Amino acid sequence: MSTNGIIVWLRRDLRLADHPAFSAAVKQQVPVYPLYIWSPDEDHPWAPGGASRWWLHHSLSALAATLRQHGSRLIIRQGKADPVLRALLSETGADTIYWSRHYEPQRLAVDNPLKAELRGAEYTVKSFNASLLHEPWTITNKSGAPYQVFTPFWKACLAQPEPKAPLPTPRKIPAPSKWPDSMAIDDLKLLPDIPWDKGFYDSWTPGEQGAQAQLATFCDDIMARYKDGRDQPGQAGTSRLSPHLHFGEISPRQIYDAVHTAAHYQSTKGLVKGAEHFLREVGWREFAHHLLFHFPQTPVQPLRPEFEDFPWTHDAKLLRSWQRGETGYPIVDAGMRELWATGWMHNRVRMIAASFLVKDLLMSWTHGAAWFWDTLVDADLANNTLGWQWTAGCGADAAPYFRIFNPVLQGKKFDADGTYVRRWVPELAHLPDKDIHSPWAASADTLHDANVTLGKTYPHPVVDHKAARDRALEALASTKS
């Protein structure tokens, strides 16, 4: 293929290693123009939330620095994709565009017609898979339909050929003799005006190098105990790779390859248990994107139609109590406060907090999905939708309607010594272990000694769990009739 220059249009693939579009462009030995277009209106109603915008700012900054090290630059433009791309094609004389495919409905609504229009104008356009092990249309059941249950879906994935080895980082990216104009990353105004993000800096290192460092930490220090440790929010037992994956600072192929290497994989012996369980979680991410591609209505509508008329309630005051981490249930409040402070919440606690909103408070899962979308640094439309519909019982592979997490029992089981609660709900720090997850059940003397005054230093429970559970079961049973 003969070309005068190639624009590599970057979206959520902010890395150089295992980047098929970059690798293909570099092989052509013509000028390569790395481009990022900030166009939040095109993503409406799922424009990046506040936490995601924070991450994006720092991820773009990291990528720009890496590109400079490889003899290139990051071009920043703002606006709708079509006019921005056409303008840059005209300015540079490039005649080819490469990009990485995405599978969300609002992305496809832009990408598919854009690709056709550009090709019609006699430009070369090529897209690549850079974010999944298996693209959504490649995994189907025996009748050719999409899977709606995880276990057979993952078995079908495992039956596929092994993922190809990750592509290396290009040594040098061919540069043009003259670079086109670019906005500064600061001009995008992605960072908050009010500095609510102080805790983010202590928790995260956005960018490709940060992703690789986090993967190494997981493989070296965490993976062997992942099977049990992943459910213990008081310890470092998870990979914390989700925001890096969402922004494409690391690929699932890189993770798959590193996990196999770290586990000393041998086909005759299989993976160590920690690696098996972790790769299964990578499989859940694949499943989420599979579902969103095949059922694009699910970010706003339940997959199971019997839930369309579910008798949700709405109480703005109770919703705010949940959002602020002031429900009176310590494990729920700890999770919601961790989320606000760091842009992330431990996965076990996500399930507990989500169950509390949709079942104890009987509020629609869409309220929770919207809050997580704005506050999570790993806010991913596919994962967010799958998780909330699973909890509400209205999605694929949904939890049985009668599964309602008891926040006290969950806290005692997974945070037995209260380490997690004491960190994020410090006003309860001096309660003994046996009372840390149900302070309302502690004696007056115990509360006094711990300097806890219910209703003042820490709220009373906003609902009685037993009564709320009975109400939820009655409402949920109505969907079975």
**Is 322 noted as a catalytic residue in this protein?**
no
Task: Give the CATH number for residue 114.
Answer: 3.40.50.620
| Pair 393, 468 in one domain | yes
Domain match, 15 and 152 both: no
337 and 218 belong to one structural domain: no
- Is 173 inside any structural domain? no
Of these residues, 117, 129, 196, 312, which one is catalytic?
Answer: 312
Residue 312 appears among annotated catalytic residues? yes
The verdict on residue 178 lying in a domain is: no
Domain count of the fold of the chain: 3
Domain end, chosen from 270, 294, 318, is at 294
In terms of domains, do 50 and 27 share one? yes
Has residue 98 been placed in a domain?
yes
CATH number at residue 216: 1.25.40.80
CA 139 to chain centre: 22
Q: Which of 106, 130, 154 is the last residue of a domain?
A: 130
- Judgement on whether residues 39 and 149 belong to the same structural domain of the protein: no
Specify the pLDDT at position 272: 76
Clarify whether residues 254 and 337 are in a common domain: no
Reported pTM: 0.96
pLDDT at 45: 73
Active site residue 55: no
The answer to whether residues 160 and 284 belong to one domain is yes
pLDDT score of 269: 47
Strand 96-100 with 75-78, pairing: unpaired
- Three-state secondary structure call for residue 430: coil
365 catalytic per annotation: yes
How many helices (H) and strands (E) would you count in the chain? 20, 5
Q: Are 158 and 252 within one domain?
A: yes
- Kindly state whether residue 309 falls inside one of the protein's structural domains: yes
Q: Is residue 319 in a domain?
A: yes
Q: What is the pLDDT of residue 267?
A: 43
CA distance 365 to 455: 28
Task: Tell me which residues of the chain have a pLDDT lower than 50.
Answer: 265-269
- How far are the Cα atoms of 86, 102, 121, 273, 342 from residue 90, in angstroms, in the given order? 6, 26, 12, 54, 43
Domain carrying residue 368: 305-480
One of 42, 117, 281, 326 is an active-site residue; which one?
A: 281
pLDDT at residue 481, as a whole number = 54
Is residue 112 part of the annotated active site? The answer reads no
Asked, for residue 195, whether it belongs to a domain, the answer is no
Rounded Cα–Cα distance for residues 397 and 406 (Å): 21
Shared domain check, 125 and 256: no
> What is the distance between the alpha carbons of residues 477 and 481, in angstroms, rounded to a whole number?
7
Q: What was the pLDDT predicted at 398?
A: 61
Same domain, 285 and 370: no
200 part of a folded domain: no
